[in-house]
């Protein structure tokens, strides 16, 4: 049984969808053969493979995966045809009730149609709408990957299931290439790197989904924030700051209480209801409304590093990539409708410039249109979508259209970046909004002296700073570019006689604004160099008696190794120049 939304997009665009959907069924069939009491939940294809959530009589371990995979190969050899049939809803309810399949029953009860689709291969029967390959024999290049816990429907109040992840490809070469990439991804896991490099942590006592930045991590984050502020001011944005709490009257007006309440933290105080902000847009709207605006004022561009809180289900939390409290590089543009295409085009250029500075130059662009649950008339949605298409066309950009995936208040452009090992990550988003200006009655006085409706654009370039931090760590495998590294150079004295000169070197580098640390431990030089490399410090400046006499440093780079002896001034200039370029190189 597939997931809606993203999975539906894969169904239409990815030729691997049917193959992986079939592999998910084969896996569940193999588990059922080995453990007949197993109850089935859902088993969709996903971007890089598939999974199935199962209620099993015993706890699976990694050792079980080989056994399940061997049984899958038997089913593949048997080459059962995938056959589709239909049952009335009542027949399906009775059938799965007799089987004790309570999760399937719950799914069926939520299906509005009078008939439901069933797929059979051999003895295995599953509630499913397809598609599948013709037979199990076509699924050959498979691999089971990991086990995880999963709450039914992502809700921690529901039953905890066992999730088996796997992948499938059309041939073994593609499978082996993917498995190699997976091994590389494990080495780059930002959660592992965050702990090893002492950047951040999650504290059980404080609860799930909230990040604690340690000194080095907080420094990296502050460098990103400083860079963001400077770039926005240079492009004509105004900095604003808004509260974390609003009365729910605001969220009622914005539509969040109707369309987003399950993701909000809402509470009562002094007989009034308040909502912790899940988004920054209503705050920026209230600043706009605080005075009369003229056409001469527009466009107004409000920028905020706004921290928001969303009640994400605990089952979907994942390191920095999915948290409950995060900060967005959030901006809202208030403009006349005739300025819309130009402003969106400018934001696209800004996004590409920003991402390039962090080392990302490979993009995918998506245009998402009106969803089923939306506010605003069909006419304003059409105008908004047309403006976004025109802005993309003006930059000759290729994009995919994702029907029905827009925000509830407007269509959007999403920018995905590719990292060093080819994975896609959602970062920038540009959302055109005709609806919230209507709800909050946003206007400006035009040249004719009359009130006109203001148009609004929501946009973020990096998105969540937490998520972007995690992406950066995985992209660079922890070796952040020199300008972003919390320690840029480790000064390593050789022998006690060099200690005074080492302090002089550190002082001069710090005076130039460079982040220089000192390793004066009573350890061998090679141990200090190894530790600096493990800490992903870009440069090591080794100094002994000869370097002190020559006012020089023996330079090593974390990747390039020994760079030779350089005059201290030349080394400092090299470091400063590398930082000023901010070209994303590690």
DSSP letter string, 122-182: TTEEEE------SBGGG--EEEEEEEEEEEGGG-TTS-EEEEEEEEEESSHHHHHHHHHHH
Marked catalytic residue, from 9, 20, 126, 281:
281
Marked catalytic residue, from 330, 414, 433, 519:
330
Asked if omega into 131 is within 30° of 0 (cis), the reply is yes
Marked catalytic residue, from 20, 332, 467, 558:
332
The helix (H) or strand (E) run that includes residue 34 is helix 16-34
Marked catalytic residue, from 301, 458, 459, 515:
458
The SS3 assignment for 201 reads strand
Cα dihedral 561→562→568→574 (10° resolution): -50
Order the strands of the 124-127 sheet from edge to edge.
83-88, 115-121, 124-127
- As a whole number of angstroms, the distance between CA 257 and CA 260 comes to 6
Place of tokens 């909050």: 440
Marked catalytic residue, from 9, 29, 328, 533:
328
Cβ atoms within 10 Å of 585's Cβ, excluding its own: 11
Distances (CA, A) of 438 to 254, 293, 351, 542: 10, 16, 28, 64
- As a whole number of angstroms, the distance between CA 485 and CA 480 comes to 5
Residue 67 CA from chain centroid, whole number: 34
Asked if omega into 299 is within 30° of 0 (cis), the reply is yes
Marked catalytic residue, from 277, 310, 475, 556:
310
| Known catalytic residue at 214 | no
DSSP letter string, 208-229: TT--EE-HHHHHHHHHHHHHHH
- As a whole number of angstroms, the distance between CA 124 and CA 25 comes to 8
The SS3 assignment for 309 reads strand
Could you give phi then psi for residue 381, rounded to 5 degrees?
-65, -40
Among positive and negative, which fits the CA dihedral 328, 329, 332, 337? negative
**Of the candidates 529, 526, 549, 548, which has an alpha carbon nearest to the alpha carbon of residue 539?**
529
Degrees (nearest 5) of the Cα angle 144, 147, 148?
145
Place of tokens 């005074």: 500
| Known catalytic residue at 427 | no
- As a whole number of angstroms, the distance between CA 385 and CA 113 comes to 31
Marked catalytic residue, from 293, 412, 467, 528:
412
| Known catalytic residue at 458 | yes
Which residues are the active-site residues? 281, 310, 328, 330, 332, 412, 458
């Amino acid at each position: 049984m597939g997931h809606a939304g993203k999975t539906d997009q894969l169904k239409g665009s990815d030729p691997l969808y049917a193959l992986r959907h079939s592999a998910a069924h084969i896996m569940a069939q193999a588990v059922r053969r080995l453990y007949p009491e197993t109850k089935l939940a859902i088993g969709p294809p996903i971007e890089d493979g598939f999974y199935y959530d199962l209620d099993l009589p015993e706890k699976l371990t990694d050792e079980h995966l080989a056994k399940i995979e061997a049984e899958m190969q038997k089913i593949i050899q048997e080459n059962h045809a995938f056959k589709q049939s239909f049952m009335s809803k009542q027949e399906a309810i009775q059938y799965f009730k007799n089987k004790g399949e309570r999760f399937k029953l719950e799914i069926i009860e939520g299906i509005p149609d009078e008939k439901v689709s069933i797929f059979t291969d051999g003895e295995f029967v599953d509630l499913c709408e397809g598609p599948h390959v013709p037979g199990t024999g076509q699924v050959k290049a498979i691999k089971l990957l990991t086990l995880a816990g999963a709450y039914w429907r992502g809700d921690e109040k529901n039953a905890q299931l066992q999730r088996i992840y796997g992948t499938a490809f059309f041939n073994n070469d593609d499978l082996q290439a993917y498995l190699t990439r997976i091994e590389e991804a494990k080495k780059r896991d930002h959660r592992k790197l965050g702990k090893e490099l002492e950047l951040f942590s999650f504290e059980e006592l404080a609860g799930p989904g909230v990040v604690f930045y340690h000194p080095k991590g907080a420094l990296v984050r502050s460098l990103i924030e400083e860079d963001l502020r400077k770039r926005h001011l240079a492009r004509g944005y105004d900095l604003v700051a808004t509260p974390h709490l609003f009365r729910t009257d605001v969220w009622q007006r914005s539509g969040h209480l109707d369309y987003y309440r399950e993701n909000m933290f809402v509470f009562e105080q002094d007989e009034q209801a308040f909502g912790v902000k899940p988004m920054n847009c209503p705050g920026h709207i209230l600043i706009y409304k605080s005075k009369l605006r003229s056409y001469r004022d527009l466009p107004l561009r409000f920028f905020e590093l706004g921290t928001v809180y969303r009640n994400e289900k605990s089952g979907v939390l994942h390191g920095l990539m999915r948290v409950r409290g995060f900060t967005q590089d959030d901006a809202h543009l208030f403009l006349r409708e005739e300025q819309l295409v130009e402003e969106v085009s400018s934001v696209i250029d800004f996004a590409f410039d920003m991402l390039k500075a962090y080392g990302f130059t490979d993009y995918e662009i998506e245009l998402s249109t009106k969803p089923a649950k939306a506010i605003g008339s069909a006419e304003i949605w059409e105008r908004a979508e047309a403006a976004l298409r025109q802005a993309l066309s003006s930059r000759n950009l290729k994009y995919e259209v994702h029907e029905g995936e827009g925000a509830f208040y407007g269509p959007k452009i999403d920018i995905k970046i590719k990292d060093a090992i080819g994975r896609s990550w959602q970062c920038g988003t540009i959302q055109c909004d005709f609806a919230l200006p209507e709800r909050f009655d946003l206007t400006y006085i035009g040249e004719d002296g009359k009130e006109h409706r203001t148009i609004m654009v929501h946009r973020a370039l990096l998105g969540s700073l937490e998520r972007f931090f995690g992406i950066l760590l995985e992209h660079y495998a922890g070796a952040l570019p020199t300008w972003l590294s919390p320690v840029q150079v480790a000064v390593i004295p050789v022998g006690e006689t060099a200690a005074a000169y080492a302090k002089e070197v550190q002082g001069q580098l710090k005076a130039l604004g460079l982040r220089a640390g000192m390793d004066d431990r009573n350890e061998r030089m090679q141990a200090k160099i190894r530790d600096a490399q493990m800490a992903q410090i870009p440069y090591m400046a080794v100094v002994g008696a000869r370097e002190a006499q020559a006012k020089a440093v023996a330079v090593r780079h974390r990747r390039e190794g020994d760079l030779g002896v350089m005059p201290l001034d030349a080394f400092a200039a090299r470091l400063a120049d590398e930082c000023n370029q901010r070209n994303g190189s590690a």
